[in-house]
Structure 1
């Protein structure tokens, strides 16, 4: 039989505190903030809405990220990291130069098509003149692996005589991203102006092939190709 003192002690016991998984909570906030900023921009992004959807307090958001600007920067870092991590699995070094160039083009096109929120977020950061990326050392360092991969493919192709010399890997990366990015970022305005189909599965598949062809034609050694064709005639 419980004594009165024992019952009183048990009644005053607090329920066990459920500890948050800090990394999981932070990740959930970032995922929700990503959707919010991609839809409404930095100025229109609502931290109250982010807190409500993440089932946390706004104070906790600022505990992790200090300010709305820092949260936006962290979202950018997460978004770019997703693409950079995927790029590591391309294994371009295992492919012949032409196959590597085409694989790079197809991957970039597919990623942008599958992640329109990423495209919108990058567009929003451009509205802010890239100030968050410029201030993030992490974002700057993320670009090195893919540029190195492209440079290695170009070097191998030049050595094999199938790619023309003098191509800047950063310029090539820029040209490819411009082509793929446009297909998502400008899809609606281009369709409205020219009555062009850029959204159907057939149109996307055709554009994917065209971009890969364009990129390869740009880098290939036409003199080598011409000599090869002449020798076969």
Structure 2
């Protein structure tokens, strides 16, 4: 059955019928799983469409090509994390509480949404070739995060609560890195140290340590 034609919105701009949007979303979600599992090179558009329960022509209708659906998948994982960050209230908290909330949000998000770190790893293995096509959108979405974090740091430093005033980007990269490694290196870390880094006990301890480490960089003199 062919998709319904787009229906005109009140503004006169055509909009996709609900069935078309649902089909497009199914393809996109299936593609994210496929790219996470197999990387760009190993991904099969046939498997994507099989998982989505759609005809292959639908992929080309909505995304033009494998490159097109990959770019859409990469854009989606970036949009999701930025959207979730924007919907939180940690920017309105007192500085210390705000930094804790951001840190723990990032830790929890990476754990609950492994498609983000997996897609980012794959894109780096691909030398960031697709990211350049959405670079402006990524930067625009990320700029408010760093600006708001800088405001929290500045407030805490001005009040005397924070001894240090680290660069906001550097602090965020620290938060991101500490929230990331036990996910991206899960299997090798488990083998190396003989501990299940995916266990609830380990993750609770790790979350607490990451929070303490981030706060420590604000309170302890660093040469």
Question: Which structure has the highest helix share of the two?
Answer: 1
Instruction: Please classify the TM superposition score into its range, dividing by the shorter chain length.
Output: 0.7 to 0.9
Unaligned runs of 5+ in 2: 5-16
Equivalent runs, 1:211-222 vs 2, <5 Å: 211-220=210-219
Partner of residue 85, structure 1: 83
SS at match of 1:198: coil
Partner of residue 197, structure 1: 196
Shift of 1:27: 1.4
| d(CA) in 2 for partners of 1:71, 1:81 | 15
Q: Normalising to structure 1: TM-score of the pair? A: 0.82
RMSD across aligned positions (CA): 2.0
Partner of residue 147, structure 1: 146
Partner of residue 43, structure 1: 41
| d(CA) in 2 for partners of 1:163, 1:70 | 46
Shift of 1:35: 0.7
Shift of 1:172: 1.1
- Assess if the C-alpha contact under 8 Å between 1:37 and 1:45 holds in 2: yes
> Are 2:177 and 1:178 aligned?
yes
- Assess if the C-alpha contact under 8 Å between 2:154 and 2:165 holds in 1: no
> Are 2:29 and 1:31 aligned?
yes
- Assess if the C-alpha contact under 8 Å between 1:112 and 1:180 holds in 2: yes
Shift of 1:220: 2.6
Partner of residue 103, structure 2: 105
Shift of 1:221: 6.2
Shift of 1:138: 2.0
- Assess if the C-alpha contact under 8 Å between 1:162 and 1:221 holds in 2: no
Equivalent runs, 1:57-76 vs 2, <5 Å: 57-76=55-74
- Assess if the C-alpha contact under 8 Å between 2:182 and 2:189 holds in 1: no
Bigger Rg, structure 1 or 2: 1
- Assess if the C-alpha contact under 8 Å between 1:133 and 1:140 holds in 2: no
> Are 2:208 and 1:209 aligned?
yes
Q: How many residues align?
A: 208
Shift of 1:165: 4.9
Structure 1 segments, 4+ long, off by >6 Å, are none
- Assess if the C-alpha contact under 8 Å between 2:164 and 2:221 holds in 1: no
**Which one of the candidate residues 115, 118, 125 is aligned to 2:123?**
125
| d(CA) in 1 for partners of 2:217, 2:138 | 28
| d(CA) in 2 for partners of 1:91, 1:148 | 15
Q: Normalising to structure 2: TM-score of the pair? A: 0.86
Shift of 1:114: 1.0
